[in-house]
Amino acid sequence: MRLIGRLNYDFVEKMGGAMRISIALAVISIASLVYHQGPNWGVEFTGGTEIHIKLAKSLETNVLKEGLERSGFPSESVQRFGLPGDNEHLIQFAPDLATFDQIEDFQKSLEDLFAESEDFQGASIQRIDYIGPRVGKELITKALLSILIACVGILGYLVLRFEFGFAVGAVIALIHDTLITVGAISLADKEFTLAIVAALLTVIGYSVNDTIVIFDRIRENMGNFPEKGFRELVNDGISQTLSRTLLTAITVFIVLVPLFFLGGSVIHDFAFTLMVGVVIGTYSSIFVASAFVVYWRKRKATG
Amino acid sequence: MQGVSRLWVTVIVLFSFLCVILLTPTFMGDKLPSWWGKVFSSKGISLGLDLEGGIFLLLGVETEEGVEQEMLIVEESLVSKFRKDRILVKSSSVSDGTLTIGFFPGADMDKALEIARDEFEEVTDIDSDGFRIRLSVKPSYVDELERNSIERVRHIIENRIKDFGLVEPSIQKSGEDRILVQVPGASKKDRQRIVNLIKKTAVLEFKIVEAVGASQENLLAAVEAETEKQVAEKGRAIHAGDTGNENERFFLTERLASVTGEYISDARITFDNYGNPAVGFTFRGEGASRFGKLTENNIGERLAIVLDGVIKSAPTIQDKITYQGTITGTFTPDEAKDLALILRSGSLPVPVRVEQERTVGPSLGQDSIEKGRFSMIVGGILVLVFMVFFYRVQGVVANAALVLNILFIMGFLSAFGVTLTLPGIAGLVLTLGMAVDGNIIIFERIKEELVAGKTAVHSIEAGYARSLWTILDANVTTLLTALILFWLGTGPVKGFAATLSIGIVSTVFSNLVVARIFTNMLYRDKKITEVSI
């Protein structure tokens, strides 16, 4: 069976239009980040305390927040977590609202609240996270550093294996993917946690993987058909690998969907990030990375 | 077409067999016969705390404190030597690892310098400006002190946690000045006790009480001092009391204790005359004789039992005591048990602070495993169905390779002792989707070659040959990001990176070698003209 037969589609021609889409998405991402005052950093990065609780029935977050205030613990935020039916909530405290030594008191009064109030019957504490200020700062540095090193490492490997323009194209594509995925997380108002950083790095890996398969084919065509124009070679390369590009995106998506719906609250956001990333990464391999290579070649040809 | 390489087939069969053995405990659990564990040492895949439930604590060790303490010892020893040699010391102070000693005019500075050099030149840099001598710790010695105190702290915490009695706690050094404590299976109830066990410095001192007061001011007036520093200069100390008596909130005692908890050989929970929990202890060797001397000389006086600077009780000495003693106070049975445990393990040389905590309830872990397993099964089946639907016989080949691939990955996880975390499970599910990418690249290439009019055999050959570098290039970069994540990541994220890295290596192997062998087996000895793809 063939997903896509022989194609004579002029991808290169569409790249101008695609660039407008990319710029629009990037602008929306940045606007959302500006509007939300940066990513919604998780407690791992800001420092503080986060308590993950599971309720027996659905409750408005306000009820929970007020309940906590009555027991003398004004929380910084209470937010829903996972799918709506999970009834799971995250209670967060800024470092000055709950020091490490206060966690015990809080745990006790929360358990009292669960025992007393009818609303909270059957509720339980699932997880307690405390991050000291020093660790938080280190984790932010490490997270940013790992993304930066990944970009540099990939650039280095690609420079060794491909022409310089290809390498730059791939890195521009992955920066594009990272920015727009982060924008999507911000738009969906999801927490930016360490697991999300891990998902972002996976998206980077996936995006580059996708780009390389196309580049490899363009390069092969350059050797086999030196008489053809570069634009044609790029179009051929994209067309020939298009079935693979789409099929792989489909198989990855096939496993992400159950992870998103069935994987549980903790995995939910992680799967969300990857789903967005796979779509953007697939798009960018064709319309951003390859587009840059065409542009770069043209500049080189005209001097 | 190439035949089937016997070597590779043997390798794959042996490998699969090994992985099955490694993984049996993971899937069989308690149902395994007991001889299994004796024959095969593997315990299966180990679960991270986020899956198993338990407590994770990252402790910062305040090593600077150890350097400060060391300099205080130097101070005491030097000043007393100078006094003995009648060198007139005016003042001395320690700050930031530097000891400064000032002298009165006319003091024998040369002699003082000589003494200081004789004693401490190896570990400190010594200089003098004619009025003062300054000793600052050498950086190399600072390193040694810090290493020592971390190792000692780690050892003591290990003893305390192991004594607490939960299964397989792990206490490791982490980075430069941190200790990572992981106690699987610890419940929320255990949480506070474990935190207390770890954080208690547990310096136990025995001091004779000189005065008692309801407020600190009363006692300051009694020694004609205004600040605690002045009290210290007079060789005295004021301690807060936690004895349960409202009128005895503060105690005045001598500054330095002649007997401390370091001489304790054993401690256990007992009960006082009223049946309240208390902690009994036993001294050994020099401790017993010191304690005997202290009590003998002070019969009728009150003996303060000071734990981490707070007086727990201050009984009146009735008689000489040598070996045995009891600390009474307001303890619950658990507190008394834990205090006994802490006293047995010794006091921490420097304080620790909790930098990070994660406590996961067992239900969340169990829930995560079940959901992870379920989404893996659903995702896996969908991928298998998709591949057969799309690639027919070659789809079956890819699926067989995928199943072996998953077996290998889990076998590796088990063999290398990689801890499976929740993101790790997600990584495993993701690998299911990414693993067939290599097959897809090859199969699409074979199709192209077929369309171009090549024979079946040639198409398969060319499909594999031409995809080799594409697959390698594409996976090297992905592996690169996974390794960076492994290097810089912590906790669950590290588990994810480990799973992903192993997944990538195993996937490349199963794409290029395993699937190839299956294809070859399928078409061996046949003059094939058609490929079902």
Q: Which two structure tokens, joined as six digits, stand for A296?
A: 């770069």
CA B384-B405-A239 angle, 5° bins = 60
Instruction: Check CB contact under 8 Å for B375 and A259.
Output: yes
B378 and B513 housed in the same domain: yes
Instruction: Looking at mean pLDDT, say which of A62-76, A179-193, B202-216, B242-256 comes out highest.
Output: A179-193
pLDDT in tens, B441-492: 999 999 999 998 998 888 999 999 999 999 998 899 889 889 988 888 877 7
Provide the CATH number for the domain around residue A93.
3.30.70.100
Q: Is residue B525 scored above 70 in pLDDT?
A: no
Nearest-CA distance from B216 to chain A in Å? 26
Provide the CATH number for the domain around residue A231.
1.20.1640.10
- Domain-terminating residue out of B305, B324, B343: B324
Query: In this predicted structure, what is the pLDDT of residue B2?
Result: 55
Query: In this predicted structure, what is the pLDDT of residue A303?
Result: 65
Average pLDDT, chain B: 87
A18 and A160 housed in the same domain: yes
pLDDT in tens, B42-54: 677 888 888 888 9
Query: Are the C-beta atoms of B428 and B376 separated by less than 8 Å?
Result: yes
d(CA B383, CA B174): 40
Q: Is residue B101 scored above 80 in pLDDT?
A: yes
B271 and B392 housed in the same domain: no
Asked whether the whole model's pTM tops 0.90, one would answer no
Provide the CATH number for the domain around residue B293.
3.30.1360.200
Query: Are the C-beta atoms of B336 and B313 separated by less than 8 Å?
Result: no
DSSP state of A84: G
Query: In this predicted structure, what is the pLDDT of residue B1?
Result: 47
B266 and B216 housed in the same domain: yes
Mean pLDDT of A165-180: 95
- A 17-46 residues inside an 8 A Cβ radius of B: none
A187 and A144 housed in the same domain: yes
- A 186-245 residues inside an 8 A Cβ radius of B: 194-195, 197-198, 201-202, 204-206, 208-210, 212-213, 216-217, 220, 240-241, 243-244
Instruction: Express the helix, strand and coil content of chain B in percent, nearest 5 each.
Output: 55, 20, 25
- Domain-terminating residue out of A131, A155, A189: A131
Nearest-CA distance from A146 to chain B in Å? 6
pLDDT in tens, A100-120: 888 888 888 888 888 887 878
pLDDT in tens, B61-87: 988 888 888 888 888 888 888 888 888
The domain in which residue A83 lies consists of 48-131
A187 and A235 housed in the same domain: yes
DSSP letters, B295-359, are HHHTTTSBEEEEETTEEEE-PBP-S---SEEEE-SS--HHHHHHHHHHHHH---SS-EEEEEEEE
Q: Which residues pair with B127 in a beta bridge?
A: B134
A192 and A257 housed in the same domain: yes
Mean pLDDT of B406-415: 92
The three-state DSSP-derived secondary structure of B122-181 is CCEEEEECCCEEEEEECHHHHHHHHHHHHHHHHHHHHHHHHHHCCCCCEEEEECCCEEEE
B515 and B389 housed in the same domain: yes
B306 and B379 housed in the same domain: no
Q: Which residues pair with B269 in a beta bridge?
A: B279
Of A146, A241, A264, the CB nearest to B371: A264
A90 part of a folded domain: yes
B428 part of a folded domain: yes
B370 and B317 housed in the same domain: no
Instruction: Check CB contact under 8 Å for A205 and B60.
Output: no
- Indicate the number of domains in chain A: 2
DSSP state of A243: H
- Domain-terminating residue out of B324, B350, B385: B324
Q: What percent of chain B has pLDDT over 70?
A: 98
Q: What value of ipTM does the predicted structure carry?
A: 0.91
- Domain-terminating residue out of A63, A97, A131: A131
The domain in which residue B252 lies consists of 202-324
- Domain-terminating residue out of B324, B347, B377: B324
Q: Is residue B527 scored above 80 in pLDDT?
A: no
A172 and A103 housed in the same domain: no
Mean pLDDT of A5-15: 83
Of A103, A253, A266, the CB nearest to B422: A266
Nearest-CA distance from B202 to chain A in Å? 18
CA atoms within a 13 Å half-sphere pointing along the CA-CB vector of B481: 27
B369 and B482 housed in the same domain: yes
Query: In this predicted structure, what is the pLDDT of residue B104?
Result: 87
B213 part of a folded domain: yes
A3 part of a folded domain: no
A171 and A292 housed in the same domain: yes
Query: In this predicted structure, what is the pLDDT of residue B380?
Result: 93
A6 part of a folded domain: no
Q: Burial of A184 by CB count in 10 Å (0-12 exposed, 13-18 middle, 19+ buried)?
A: buried
Chain A residues in contact with B489 by the CB 8 A cut-off are: 142, 146, 194, 198
A154 and A203 housed in the same domain: yes
- Domain-terminating residue out of A116, A131, A146: A131
A37 and A156 housed in the same domain: yes
B444 and B494 housed in the same domain: yes
CA B295-B299-B302 angle, 5° bins = 85
Instruction: Check CB contact under 8 Å for A1 and B391.
Output: yes
- Indicate the number of domains in chain B: 2
pLDDT in tens, A35-79: 999 998 888 898 999 999 998 888 888 888 888 888 777 788 888
Of A52, A130, A244, the CB nearest to B441: A244
Instruction: Looking at mean pLDDT, say which of A70-84, A178-192, B110-124 comes out highest.
Output: A178-192
Query: In this predicted structure, what is the pLDDT of residue B248?
Result: 83
pLDDT in tens, B483-506: 988 888 877 788 889 999 999 999
B355 part of a folded domain: no
A142 and A126 housed in the same domain: no
